[in-house]
Amino acid sequence: MTREVRGVAAAPGIAVGSVKWLAAAPVTSPDDAPGSDVEAEIARAETAFETVAGRYSAQALDATGPAADILFMTSALAADPALLDQVRADIRGGTPTAHAVTRAVTHFGEQLTALGGLMAERASDLRDVGQRVVAELLGVDPPGIPDSATPFVLAAQDLAPADTASLDPERVIGLLTVAGGPTSHTAILAKALGIPAVVAAPEAVTIAEGTEIVLDGTSGVIEFEPTAARREEVLALRARQAAVPTGPGRTSDGHAVPLLANVGSAADARLAVELGAEGVGLFRTEFLFLDRKSAPTVAEQSERYAEIFRIMGDRPVIVRTLDAGSDKPLPYLALPDEENPALGVRGLRLSSVDEGTLLDQLTAVEAAVKETGTPVKVMAPMVATVEEAAYFAARARTAGLETPGIMIEIPAAALRSEYLGAEVEFFSIGTNDLSQYLFGADRMSSAVAALHDPWQPALAVTIATVVTGAAKQGVKVGVCGESASNPEFACVLVGLGVETLSMAPRSIAGVRAKLAEVTRAQCEAAAAAVVSARTAEDALRAARAALGVDT
Amino acid sequence: MITRTAVVASKTGLHARPAALFAKAAGEAGVPVQISKAGKDPVAANSLLQIMTLGVEQGDTVTLHAQDGAETALDKLVSMLETDLDA
């Protein structure tokens, strides 16, 4: 009989394969033979730290977003003068070199752990640094992802950023961690890589190396030793997803649903093209603004936008103007401190204290459009009222950008979509923020995460309201939130009348495959079922039935 | 010996990224700089690890110490601490 354990679903998708545990850390002992030449041993330790710090910073340069930050910080830990001082002193005191590293890391790790909270989390990054330095000194493989000719499910107590950053989705088909949470770095990176993941599964410690499992990153369930039939079923499911790898998004009866990518960098844009995105539905421009002392110049912005436009070529790109302020402060703008940043001066609202940033950005986008010829539209985040929509549209048109649009992420804007639609050319629904404001549930709070379930019927009803209002003005509606990347919910969005879907590049294949299996009428039936469902659970069940998914 | 005080602006205090950025800047200051917090011994400002062990949170006041003549360097570090380095 199949046994199973449950964890927290952290990245969608299903995988079947055998479990490999993350390679164990090398062990050191005070009884190891110390080197004969103290100064030579110190030099050896310094070189090992330098090598490891260098690897982290090289990885940081290749990474983007949160991964880059963590790797940068970990690189700084590996180059820390206090850590090295302690190692030097210990070696001089007669401790074997590798063990001196273990001791120093343990010493500082304990101090961080004692501080609790965020600092305690850094203790595991420090331990990771120490293990890699020790491996370097002992001349053994660094702890981390095991080698294997066949793809496997990687299991670990928890994954260090350096491990997750180097994952190859061709080799690691699933992730399972004993610790961690749905908002951990593991989860964020797994989603970006398109690897199904289950985290926070304490019972997973009992799984022996090599055990065959089915890992469902959508439900959080791990099944042991699947039968041959179950194995075939899972493989068929994966194959179906891979069988429609390219081409434009469409339902089985030919209704076109352009599948667009959310990008924030040139690397994202290249990946989007590689994975067959039909354009960019959300180009986040924050990266140019955050973490700097002065505003980027128009010329600098224009050059960076043009770089991404050129990668996309003739494919359409929607640029979202700066979504910063409050929760993502701009060091060079003196913004008021706010108790509730999500409800404060952010997005388009920044224009009320600093209009120059918006105007410069529009000028820079227009210049990049002139240079590249890419079909580009601009849209503003955090629009709540008709006046704001009209304000943005007027500024965009003055800058020469003729088809302005807005994000719909505030319930007030959703309810008044007919009136806002009279001002602009298109809408893009940001379902993450829309859920946050609709349910009064902080996106960052794991305690209210259940309210961010796309299957909550109130979300679908709100989207239906937007579509109805937009239709009266002939305004097109797209979705660029997390919910568009859920293959089954994507079908519901199509059924609700959403015309384009934009998502992380890695999510496109799954959505494309699912759409190709269903008719437009099935999508509409699923949408109708969700809108009239009582609960999120009822909505999911009813939609799956309409879409012909076996449950 | 000169000192300067700063109220830390970063939302996560001197943790991870803000602390790493600050330690890097302190290491590049050209003179040894120490940082202290009320009730704790001063530590080397170029050590990310030691800064983190101070457990500095947003709104905490910290003091920077350096030899005479390092006024400009300290002023730069103070303005860094009073900027939100999380962004």
Q: How far apart are CA A539 and CA A397, in angstroms?
A: 41
CA distance linking residue A100 with residue A93, whole number of Å: 10
Chain A residue numbers touching B27 (CB-CB < 8 A): 81
Task: Let me know: does A11 contact A220? Beta carbons within 8 Å.
Answer: no
- Residues of chain A whose beta carbon is less than 8 angstroms from a beta carbon of chain B are 69-70, 72-73, 76-77, 80-83, 108, 111-112, 115, 118-119, 122, 126, 290-291, 293, 324, 328-331
Q: State residue A445's pLDDT score.
A: 74
Rounded to the nearest integer, the mean pLDDT of chain B is 90
What is the rounded distance in angstroms from the CA atom of residue A292 to the CA atom of residue B85? 9
Which segments of A279-399 are extended strands (E)? 280-284, 317-320, 376-380
Q: Which value does ipTM take for this structure? A: 0.90
**Percent of chain A topping pLDDT 70:** 95
Residue reference for tokens 């101090």: A111
pLDDT of residue B62: 95
A217, A241 Cβ separation under 8 angstroms: no
Mean pLDDT of A90-109: 95
Rg (CA), chain B: 11
The pLDDT value recorded for residue A1 is: 41
Of B20, B23, B55, the CB nearest to A119: B55
- The Cα–Cα gap between A321 and A362 comes to 8
Phi, psi of B10 (to 5 degrees): -60, 140
Which residues of chain B form beta strands (DSSP E)? 2-7, 34-37, 43-44, 61-66
Q: Is the pLDDT of residue A133 over 70?
A: yes
Give the model's confidence band at A6: pLDDT under 50 very low, under 70 low, under 90 confident, else very high: confident
Question: Where does residue B1 rank: exposed (0-12), middle (13-18), buried (19+ CB within 10 A)?
Answer: exposed
Query: B47 vs A80: CB contact, 8 Å cut-off?
Result: yes
For the entire predicted model, the pTM comes to 0.56
Token pair belonging to A184: 């951990």
| Superfamily covering domain B2-81 | HPr-like (3.30.1340.10)
Per-residue pLDDT tens digits for A209-254: 899 999 988 778 899 999 999 999 898 877 765 654 567 899 999 8
pLDDT tens digits for B17-46? 889 999 999 999 889 999 999 888 899 999
**Interface residue of A115, A119, A121 to substitute, partner B, most B CBs within 10 Å:** A119
Q: What is the mean pLDDT of chain A?
A: 89
**Residues A221, A224, A230, A231, CA torsion sign:** positive
Please say whether the dihedral angle defined by the alpha carbons of residues B37, B40, B44 and B46, taken in this order, is positive or negative.
Answer: negative
